[in-house]
């Protein structure tokens, strides 16, 4: 039997498992996460988080519903911060993933933050730099190099109904960046419907430009310090909220000169979160973090 904690952040839900309980070969981990995360036959969640902690230090890995690994999940990281406060009485902690280290902090009764550091506007998903058309170099800051060409390139890829959606929502700026995981951010004049976002997101996610696939965000500026966001997550589809997507969207707006605010509220279907930009360039995600229930999971039944 496996003890777990079910948590959520703005409707983005997670199953948290102390991985020291998992007495199985590493090759079986992905399938275990698929079964446990299944909403009909398991506990059910958007993402399974496996962690082990030693006082204020956390090591974690994240698995999507199809068993694929995610580099980081902002909302899950906020929930980990809260879980460490509940279990270990640690209001602040350090999260180590395979590729990066993040500072976590509990900021309120049901609120926590993640310091994403300075996002990388350079190569996304490894081989992208080699598969990007020559007139669209990824080396350097994509958001500042040739955004118009990138816009034209992606619009050209969207034919038929996808092209109609692309033009109807008024995409006026695009950026590729990594905030620990890869994101494609589309700034739009009008938010797409869920159906439109699903069609366009599913297509852009798997473009040959992104060999490891990519998260696709649709962002609409409401004011200098407020945006609306809809994210099509890699391997998950449309979600109620995405913390790293919020970070990527605000970074795109700020670096592109579309906002001057260093404190932006991001509204998503599941709720709102805040992005703070520090003077030294670090970006902080502040989001909800709620323990829903704890329980025991029997992988093979009782």
Residue 121's pLDDT is what?
58
Q: Kindly give, in sequence order, each residue whose CB lies less than 8 Å from that of residue 26, ignoring residues fewer than 6 positions away.
A: none
User: pLDDT tens digits for 251-276?
Assistant: 999 988 999 999 999 999 999 999 99
User: pLDDT tens digits for 90-111?
Assistant: 999 999 999 899 999 999 999 9
Residue 120's pLDDT is what?
67
At residue 205, the 3 state secondary structure works out as: helix
Residue 139's pLDDT is what?
33
Planar angle of CA 28, 32, 37, nearest 5 degrees: 155
pTM here?
A: 0.91
Please identify every stretch of the chain with a pLDDT value under 70, giving residue numbers as ranges: 120-148, 302
Q: How far apart are CA 143 and CA 186, in angstroms?
A: 11
Q: How far apart are CA 206 and CA 216, in angstroms?
A: 10
Domains, in order of start, for the chain = 2-117+288-297 (3.10.310.10), 128-281 (3.10.310.10)
User: pLDDT tens digits for 58-80?
Assistant: 999 999 999 999 999 999 999 99
CA distances from 150 to 92, 187, 197, 202 (A): 40, 13, 19, 18
């Amino acid at each position: 039997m496996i003890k777990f904690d079910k948590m959520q952040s703005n409707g983005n839900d997670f199953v948290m498992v102390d991985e020291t309980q998992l007495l199985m070969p590493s090759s079986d981990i992905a399938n275990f996460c698929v079964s446990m995360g299944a909403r009909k036959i398991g506990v059910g969640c958007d993402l399974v988080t496996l962690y082990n902690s030693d006082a204020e230090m956390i090591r974690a890995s994240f698995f999507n519903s199809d068993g694929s690994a995610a580099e980081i999940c902002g909302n899950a990281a906020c929930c980990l911060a809260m879980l460490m406060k509940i279990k270990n009485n640690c209001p602040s902690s350090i999260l180590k993933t395979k590729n990066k280290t993040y500072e976590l902090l509990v900021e309120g009764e049901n609120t926590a933050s993640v310091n994403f550091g300075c996002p990388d506007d350079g190569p996304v998903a490894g081989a992208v730099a080699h598969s990007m058309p020559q007139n669209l170099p990824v080396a350097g800051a994509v958001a500042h190099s040739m955004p118009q060409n990138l816009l034209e390139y992606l619009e050209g890829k969207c034919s038929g109904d996808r092209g109609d959606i692309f033009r109807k929502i008024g995409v006026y700026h695009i950026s590729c960046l990594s905030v620990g995981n890869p994101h494609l951010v589309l700034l739009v004049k009008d938010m797409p419907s869920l159906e439109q976002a699903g069609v366009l997101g599913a297509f852009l996610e798997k473009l040959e430009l992104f060999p490891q696939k990519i998260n696709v965000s649709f962002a609409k500026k409401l004011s200098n310090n407020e945006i609306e966001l809809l994210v099509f997550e890699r391997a998950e589809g449309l979600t109620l909220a995405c913390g790293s997507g919020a970070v990527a969207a605000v970074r795109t707006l700020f670096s592109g000169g579309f906002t001057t605010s260093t404190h932006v509220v991001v509204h998503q279907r599941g709720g709102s979160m805040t992005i703070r930009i520090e003077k030294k360039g670090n970006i902080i995600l502040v989001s909800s973090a709620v323990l829903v229930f704890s329980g025991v999971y029997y992988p093979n039944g009782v």
